[in-house]
Amino acid sequence: MAIRFVRVVVIWLLVLATLWVTEPYLSALWFSASAPRTVTPRGSLADSEQATIALFKNVSPSVVHVFARAAPTDSLFSDEGVVQSGSGIIWDAAGHVITNNHVINGTAQIGVRLTSGEFVAARVVGTAPNYDLAVLQLERPTSPLRPIAVGRSADLQVGQSAFAIGNPYGLEQTLTSGIVSALRRRLPMTAAQEVKGMIQTDAAINPGNSGGPLLDSSGRLIGVNSVIISGSGASAGIGFAIPVDIVNRVAAQLIRTGHVPEPGIGVVAAKQDEATSLGIDGVVIVRTLPDSPAAKAGLEGATADGVIRDVITGANGKPIHSMSELASTLDDVGVGNQVSLTVDRGGQTRSVKVTVGDISQLDQG
């Protein structure tokens, strides 16, 4: 009896072992999808997905790819020299395109690829380096142009949705999304000029997105993507866009005159760290430009032997600590209007009225 029980147990163990060894082969034989799988119906897209799809379809024809080369050649895509690229926005039916100044700065040949695939030569209408903006004119495009819908940036709120369309790393017509992360950021564009009210977003922005649109959930332009902050140079969730209210004003002036006045008083200032090392809190005037508003108002730069004469410590009753703060105040005052400066000379403080001028028209020598 015991021997029979042992035999039964051994047989069952052999059967189980055989099944364990052959199971993968049997599964592959019986369950493999050797024919195309049946598609599972998915139902309707979510409302938010449909809205995003519609946004991209409506706006993407207004976004172009901008190419620029320092030296002109027979073909913009020849092997001669480096071609830099970015994004652009169709601004009006006349063929004006908005992009960043740094996308085309220092270049001699510019081309634009439309969403239709057409490649069109372009020329510079005007630039505003202090705002990192430029306006291009397309040369005889044959494809229909769709100007972008323009919104407002003054009423934006932190937390609302934001969408970016551009050409990161040359990958055309790329859509990313996020939110408005912060408002009223101040970022330097030049050594003495910063743009106020910059929009911060976590929508992925990478090299090549520069000059492309930042959009609200209605597909309206709320900013022009310009800057990222990243240790690697790639998106780190901190991107910045120039507010559309500034873009609207600057673009109109560039199209009308090719020039945007640069409010200033015509002073060359010492670097802020140099002033700090001397224990001075304010704008140290190194020299005044010839025939500038500052020179006409009697402000003086340092003497030939390095003796500091005038230091600007306030403007219109507010303290001034740096040249960028002074430039921001002068931008608010506007060309042709007066600003009241608080000036320190040799320990004596006085108030000086200066008429703000367009310093881009002054001799910088």
Inform me whether the pLDDT recorded for 239 exceeds 80.
yes
Inform me whether the pLDDT recorded for 260 exceeds 60.
yes
Q: 188-214, pLDDT tens digit by residue? A: 665 556 777 899 999 999 989 999 999
Quote the pLDDT of residue 1.
64
> Whole-angstrom Cα distance, residue 105 to residue 129?
9
- Range of lowest pLDDT (174-183, 198-207, 323-332): 323-332
pTM: 0.79
Inform me whether the pLDDT recorded for 70 exceeds 90.
no
Quote the pLDDT of residue 233.
63
Residue carrying the six token digits 């073909």: 75
Q: Which helix (H) or strand (E) holds 16?
A: helix 2-31
Average predicted confidence (pLDDT) for the chain: 88
Query: How large is the average pLDDT for residues 145-164?
Result: 96
**Cα 56 from chain centroid?**
19
Inform me whether the pLDDT recorded for 220 exceeds 60.
yes
- Range of lowest pLDDT (157-161, 334-338, 359-363): 359-363
Quote the pLDDT of residue 262.
85
Quote the pLDDT of residue 334.
87
Task: Tell me which residues are annotated as active site.
Answer: 102, 132, 210
Quote the pLDDT of residue 356.
93
Query: How large is the average pLDDT for residues 114-120?
Result: 95
> Whole-angstrom Cα distance, residue 191 to residue 129?
11
pLDDT band of residue 155 (cuts 50, 70, 90) is very high
Domains identified in the chain and CATH numbers: 48-138 (2.40.10.10), 161-257 (2.40.10.10), 263-361 (2.30.42.10)
Q: Which residue has the higher pLDDT, 73 or 99?
A: 99
Per the CB < 8 A criterion, the answer to whether 355 and 264 are in contact is no
Amino acid at 189: M
Quote the pLDDT of residue 307.
87
Inform me whether the pLDDT recorded for 79 exceeds 60.
no
Inform me whether the pLDDT recorded for 361 exceeds 80.
no
Q: Which residue has the higher pLDDT, 80 or 228?
A: 228
Query: How large is the average pLDDT for residues 157-169?
Result: 96
Quote the pLDDT of residue 28.
76
> Whole-angstrom Cα distance, residue 354 to residue 339?
5
Quote the pLDDT of residue 100.
96
Inform me whether the pLDDT recorded for 142 exceeds 90.
yes
Within a 10 A sphere around the Cβ of 221, how many other Cβ atoms?
Answer: 25
> Whole-angstrom Cα distance, residue 82 to residue 239?
25
Q: 5-59, pLDDT tens digit by residue? A: 777 777 888 878 887 877 777 777 777 777 888 888 888 999 999 999 999 999 9
Quote the pLDDT of residue 16.
83
